[in-house]
Structure 1
Amino acid sequence: MKAARAPTSLTHFSLVFLSSFHLLFSFSAAEHYPGQAFIQCLIFQSNDSIANVVYSPNNASYEQIYEFSLRNPRLNNSNRLQPQVIVTPVSESQVQAVVRCAQQNHLRIRTRSGGHDFEGLSYSSTYDIPFVLLDMINLRNVSVNATARTATIGAGATLGEVYYWIYRASGTLAFPAGVWSTVGATGLICGGGYGVLRRKYGFAADNVLNVRIVDVYGNILDRESMGEDLFWALRGGGCSSFGVVLSWELNLVEVPETVAIFNISRTLEQNATQMILPFQTVARNLPVEVDLRVLMSTTISNTSVRPDNKTVRLSFTSTYLGPADELYKIIDKNLPEIGLLRSDIQDVSWIQAIMQGSFFPLFDEAPTPEDLLDRTFLADIPFKGKSDFVREPISEQGINGLWDKLLEVGPGETTLVFTPYGGVLDEYLESAIPFPNRNGTLYMVYMRVLWVGNTTQKLEWIRSLYGYLRPYVSRNPRRAYYNYNDLDLGMNNARGPINYITARRWGRSYFNNNFMRLVGVKTRVDPLNFFRHEQSIPPFSLAMVSDM
C-alpha cells in the first residue's frame, strides 16, 4: 500500500490543480459549509491528488458512498447526524492528511471498514457535532505468505476478501474469525473477533502479529514503535479510541483439507427443552475441533399446539475439523438428545464450510469462492441487538420461560444464539486481551429483534428479554461484547465535562477490569481525546475538565 507519487510533470500538476479548484468551487456555494476549510486543508497538505476521493453532501455520489457499506437500515434516519465530508483514501498519506486536517478544523473522525457496527457509530452520530467519515474501502489489499503462514491485510478488507485470498494461497490455512463475509476484518479484530475456530485457536485478536496505525499526531506506528500497551489495546479494546488502523499482519492456522458440517432444525414440540439443558454444559466440553452452536427463533409450524401455530425453532449447526464419521460419533455419544443422523453431515472443503456451513449459510445455491468478494450480496437487516455471557446453566424453569418470551413476537422477528466456549479459551487470562469473557464461560448469548412494524414495541420487547435473562447471566458487572455495541449501556457526554463514572459503567460491561488499563493507554496516546464517540475510551486527564 504505497503512497502515490507526488505529480512531477507540469501537465499532471495542472490537472490536479484544476480538479481541486473545481472541488473547492463546488463547495463555495454553501457559504458556511463546515467542511470547506477541511477540504482546502486536505488538498494543499496531501502529496497526491485527493480530490477524487472526497465527497460532500453537495456531491452527486455522496449518498451512494455513504450507504454502500451501511449494513443496518435502522440507523439510516434523520435522527442521526451524517458526515460533513466522506473521504475514501487510496494511500496511507491521505489517511494522515485526514487526521491532521480534521484536528486543525475542529472536526471529529468516524472510521468505517465493513459497516456492520450494531449502533452505526462508525459512520453516523447521535451527537450534533460535525465529523468526517474516513471510509477505508480502498485500502483493502490482502497478501498471503503461505510458507510463513501469515497474511497482511488492509484496514478496509472484509472477512470474505481475507478468506478468499487465503484460500487462493492454500486450502489448508485459515484465519480464526467470524462467519459473515461482508463484516470488516478491522472492526472484528478491534473488538476481539470470534468464529468457528475459537475453541481450538482462540479469537482473531489472539492471532495478530502486527498492526500499523495513524496516531493522533498523524504519525504511522507499528507494534515496535507504538509499544506493547497500545498493541494490547488495539486487539479487543476498540481501535476507534486510539487511532486509525492502516493494516494488520495476521497469523494463519492449519485446517484439514476436508471438514465436516451439519445444520439441523428442531422445534419445541420435539422436546427442545431437553435438548438445550444438556447442550449448555456439554457443547463447551466437546473436543476443541468441534464448533456446535444453536440458533433459536420464532416460526410457524403445523405441529404447534398453539392456536396461532407459532413455535420456537432450534437450529443446531456444527463445523468439525475432521471427517463426518468422527463428528457423528462425537455428537451421538455426547448429545444424543438432538437426534443427529449420519446422513445430516457433509464432508466439504474448508472454503465450502465457510460459504455453506457457517451459522448463517451465506449462499443458497452453487456458490463459488469468488462470491466471497461480493461486499453487497447479504441483505441489509434493520435490527436492535444485545449480548451477554453465561457461566452457570439456565434452569429448566428458566428455559421454559425463555420460550414464552420468544413467542411474544412474530415469526422470524427474533434471533437468539448460544455460542459455547471452552477448549483453549479456558487457558486465557482475563487480561490477555481487553476482551475478558473466556475462562469459565459456558456460552455467549446473542439476541436480536428485527426493526419492523411497531419499532417502539420491538425495542421494549428486546429490553424485556434482556431483563428476563438477568438472573441467569453475568453480573457484577453485567457483561456485553464490544463488537455487539449497545447504547442502552450508556454513552459519553457529547460536550462539556466527561462523566467518568458513566463511562466506567458501560466500559466495565465490555471490558471488566481491563477498562482501567484501556483508560491508561488512552491517556498516554490521546490525552486530549480527539478520537472520541459515544462509547470511546476516555482519558484520565479529561475526567473532570471540559472537552476540546
Structure 2
Amino acid sequence: MATLRGRGLALAFLASLLLSVHLAMASSDDFLQCVRDKIPGELVYTQCSSSFSGVLVNYIKNAKFVNTTAKPLCIVTPTDASHVQAAIRCGRGHGVRLRVRSGGHDYEGLSYRSARQEVFGLLDLAALRAVSVDEAASTAWVESGATIGELYYAVAKNNPRLAFPSGECPTIGVGGHFSGGGIGMMMRKYGLSIDRVVDAKLVNANGELLDRAGMGEDLFWAIRGGGGGNFGVVLSWKVQLVPVPATVTVFNIAKTLEQGAVDILTRWQDVAPALPSELTITVMVTGQQAVFRALYLGECGSLASTMRDRFPELNMTSADCQPMTWLQSAALSFFSFTNSKPVEDVLLPRPASPSTFSKGKSDYVRQAIPKAVWKEVYASWFTMKGAGVIVLEPHGGYMCDVPEDATPYPHRRGVLYVIQYIAYWMSADGGPAATSWLDGFYGFMAHHVTKHPREAYVNFRDLDIGQNALEEEDGLGAAENARFWGQRYFLGNYEKLAKVKAAVDPTNFFRNEQSIPPMRNQPRE
C-alpha cells in the first residue's frame, strides 16, 4: 500500500510539473504573439530568428556569458517609448518578466541572462542612444542606450569647456552606469553621475511613461543609484553638465617594488582622499608594481607644485605631465594610459562579441591598510598563477559633502577609496586559476576593509555576496532575506529602496537574482 501511495504521489507530482511546463509554454507563446502584434516585426528577434544570436551576443561584454543556457524568449530592440510600453504590458499580461540591457557591462550578466533558468524577455536599449545638448542651460538629455563615450563626445564637441562626471570605460551604457551611481575620475570635484541627474523619463511596471514630476521624488531618488533592473525602464536622463578648463593635465607613473611601490601606495591611502578636489589619483596594483594615474583639472605647473607639497613620495615632476583637452583625457586607455588614435575611434565604436573572460568584486576602505599588509599582498597574492589586478579609486572632496541618504549610493563621508578586484582569463580552461586567486584574495582582504557590513558597489555586481530565492516569499520575508546583500550595496538606504519598490512595483515584475524585493507592511494580527 505504501508503495502504491508513493507511486501515486510521484505521478501526481509529475502531472503537476507537466501542467506547469504546459502553462509556461502557453503563456510564453501568448507573450510572443502579443509582442509581434504590438511592436514592428523588424524590432523583435525570437529564438527562431536567424539574427537572434548575433543581436544577443553583440552587447555581451564578458565571454563567459556568451554561451549561457538561459536565453531570453525574444529580444525587443525599441526605437520609441511606445515599444517599451507595449513590451511591458505584454509581459504583465502573459506572466513573462523582462530584463533590460543598455551597454551589456553588467558584471554578472543579469541584464540579459538568467542565472537560474527563469523565462524572460529582453529589452535591448542599444538603439535608444540619442544625446541632445542644451549649451545655454549646460544640460543634456541622454538616452539609456548611449554609451558614456558617446555622451562625452557629444558634450565636448558642442562645447569643449563642458563635461560630465562619469566612468572610465567608454563602452559602458549610460542606463546601467547611472542606475548604480557612476564613479569616475571627476567624482572628487563634481560627484557621481547620479549627483548631476536632474530629470528622467521612465516606463513603470504598468507601462506608464513618466518624468520626474510624474514619478514623484521617492522613485526619482531610487533610480539614481538603486541599481539597474529594479524599478522600471529608464529611457533617458537629463543631466547637469560641469565646467572644465581648456587644458587638463594627466600623468601615469609606474613604480616597481624596488622603486618603493609599497611605501608610496601606503602613503597614497591618506593623501589621495585629502588632495584638492580638482586632482584625482587612482592606483592599479598588478604584478610587482603600482601604477599611479592622475587627472588634474588645471595646468602642469600647479599640479607639479601640489604634488611636491602634498605627495613628494611619488617624485612626480613636470616631465611627467601630459597636457590635453578633457575629451582627450576621457579617451585614454586605463591600462596603458596612452592612445594614438583619434578620440572618435576610441569613444564612439561599439565592439562586437568579447574575447576576454572575467569576474569582479569590490570593497570599500575607511581605515588605511598597513604597510605590512601591502607587502604580503605583493609577496603572496601577486605572484600566484591566475593573479589579476585591483584598482583603487579615491573618494573625498565633493563626496564628503553629500549625505549618505541623498541618493541610494551611501559610500560617501569617511570612505578613503573603493577597490575593484578583477580576474581575467583568455580561454575557458583558464577560469579555475583566476577565480581561485580572486576568491582567496578577497577572503584575505576581509580583515582590512569595511565590516558589519562589508560594503560593496552595486555597479560591480557580485552574486557571491547573496541572491534572492528562486520562489520569493510574499510580504516582508523576501525583502528581509535580501537585506544581507542589499545592505552591503546600500547600507541604511536599503530599506527605503525596498519600500519604494513596494509602492511602484508591488508584484515584483522587474526581478532578477539580485534585484530589490518589495518590502510590504507586515499584516496585522
User: Could you give the per-residue CA deviations for residues 204-234 of structure 1, whole angstroms, max 9, x where no partner exists?
Assistant: 0000010111001100011101110100000
SS at match of 2:218: helix
| The one of 105, 123, 130 aligned to 2:94 | 105
Residue 30 of structure 2: which of 23, 27, 37 is its match?
Answer: 37
Q: Which residue of 2 aligns with 1:524?
A: 503
Residues 490 and 502, structure 1, Cα contact 8 Å, conserved in 2: no
Which residue number corresponds to residue 461 of structure 1? 437
Distance 1:138 1:258, change over 3 A: same
1:179·1:360 contact (CA, 8 Å) conserved in 2? no
Partner residue, 1:61: 51
- Select the residue among 96, 101, 105 that pairs with 2:85: 96
- Distance in 1, matches of 2:152 and 2:43, equals 27
The equivalent of 1:348 in structure 2 is 324
- Kindly state the Cα deviation for residue 169 of structure 1 after the two structures are TM-superposed: 0.7
Deviations 1:24-56 (CA, angstroms, capped at 9, x unpaired): xxxxxxx9586432232123334xxx1001111
Alignment of 1:120-269 (within 5 A): 120-269=109-258
Q: Secondary structure at the match of 1:513?
A: helix
Give the 5 Å matches for 1:274-293: 274-293=263-282
Could you tell me how far apart the structure 1 residues matched to 2:494 and 2:236 are?
25
Distance in structure 2 (CA, Å) of the matches to 1:363 and 1:85: 40
CA offsets, 1:1-43, max 9 Å, x none?
xxxxxxxxxxxxxxxxxxxxxxxxxxxxxx9586432232123
Structure 2 CA distance for aligned equivalents of residues 189 and 367 of structure 1: 26
What is aligned with 1:421? 395
3-state DSSP of counterpart to 1:541: coil
* 1:90-112 deviations in Å (ceiling 9; x for gaps): 11100000000011121111100
CA drift of 1:202 comes to: 0.4
TM-score (norm 1): 0.87
Q: Give unpaired runs (5+ residues) of structure 1.
A: 1-30, 299-311
Separation in structure 2 between the aligned mates of residue 543 and residue 215 of structure 1, nearest angstrom:
25
Alignment partners' CA distance in 2, 1:149 and 1:477: 39
| 8 Å Cα contact 1:95-1:214 kept in structure 2 | yes
CA offset digits 1:348-384 (Å, max 9, x no partner): 011111112x634577323233541111189653111
User: 362-371 or 518-527: which moved more?
Assistant: 362-371
Residue matched to 1:77: 67
Deviation at 1:438, TM superposition (A): 1.1
Displacement of 1:408: 3.8
Deviations 1:366-416 (A, max 9, x none): 3233541111189653111110111111111111121134324348x4111
Distance 2:192 2:472 in 1: 37
1:52 maps to 2:57: no
Count, aligned residues: 495
Deviation of 1:457 (Å): 3.3
SS in 1 for 2:153: helix
- CA drift of 1:268 comes to 1.2
Query: What is the CA distance between 1:542 and its match in structure 2?
Result: 9.5
Q: Cα distance, 1:247 vs. partner?
A: 0.6
Please give the alpha-carbon distance, in whole angstroms, between the structure 1 residues aligned to 2:335 and 2:300.
Answer: 20
Give me the whole-angstrom Cα distance separating, in 2, the residues matched to 1:332 and 1:314. 19
Q: What letter corresponds to residue 417 of structure 1 in structure 2?
A: V
**What secondary structure sits across from 1:352 in the alignment?**
helix
Residues 383 and 451 of structure 1 are in contact (CA less than 8 Å); yes or no, is this contact kept in structure 2? yes
User: Contact 2:57–2:353 (CA<8 Å) still a contact in 1?
Assistant: no
| Matched AA of 2:234 | V
1:76 CA displacement: 2.3
Q: In structure 2, how many angstroms separate the alpha carbons of the residues matched to 1:360 and 1:528?
A: 44
Shift of 1:502: 3.0
Q: Tell whether 2:342 aligns with 1:367.
A: yes
Give matches, 1:508-519, under 5 Å.
Answer: 508-519=487-498
Which amino acid counterpart does residue 522 of structure 1 have in structure 2?
Answer: K
Distance in 1, Cα, partners of 2:25 & 2:265: 60
Match of 2:378 among 385, 399, 403: 403
Q: Distance in 2 between matches of 1:487 and 1:194?
A: 20
Q: Hey, what's the Cα distance between the residues in 2 that align with 1:84 and 1:363?
A: 42
Identity of aligned residues (%): 39
Deviations 1:235-272 (A, max 9, x none): 00014110011111000000001000111211112111
Look up the match of 2:406.
432
Aligned CA distance change for structure 1 residues 165 and 454 (closer, same or farther; 3 Å): closer
Which of 293, 298, 307 pairs up with 1:317? 293
| 2:20 corresponds to | none
Cross-structure match for 1:115: 104
Query: What amino acid is aligned across from residue 388 of structure 1 in structure 2?
Result: D
**Secondary structure at 1:263 match in 2:** strand
- TM-score normalised per structure 2: 0.91
Equivalent pair of 1:163/1:175 in contact (CA under 8 Å) = yes
Question: Structure 1: which amino acid aligns with 2:309?
Answer: K
Look up the equivalent residue of 2:495 and give its one-letter code. M
Distance (whole Å) between structure 1 residues aligned to residue 252 and residue 337 of structure 2: 13
Letter in 1 for 2:388: T
Deviations 1:57-106 (CA, angstroms, capped at 9, x unpaired): 1111011100111001122234x411110010111100000000011121
